[in-house]
Structure 1
Amino acid sequence: MLTHVWGKVMGFWEEEEGLGMLEMILIIAAIVVIAVIFRDQLKAIVSNLLNKVGKKSDEFIEG
């Protein structure tokens, strides 16, 4: 009995079907929720990076 159950568990563990639609939706939903929660921090980071890029490109063009 135990070997039969263990065989079923191992069969389930080794089964590789790839990502399904539900998994993809859950991953996208988690990313959206994280983005909404940390919206202000993400805006600050992106703004800071764009300012640095602008300054560096101005330095490069001027000299």
Structure 2
Amino acid sequence: MRKLLQALKRDERGVTALEYVILAVVVVAAVTVGGAVLRNVITSAFTSTGSAIQACINSPKTCGS
């Protein structure tokens, strides 16, 4: 029994698996946060572009200034 417990104590395979799980969680969190930020930036850019185009359509003389 003692040899089994010592062997389990030296076995690091579970630790490695846990490290990969933690790494995967960090990557998923980073992608999720990055996606949310990127979505807001893209939405803002398209909204600004759409507003500028609409302003040019409504008032062509002031377009581009």
TM-score tier by shorter-chain length is 0.3 to 0.5
TM-score by length of 2: 0.41
TM-score by length of 1: 0.42
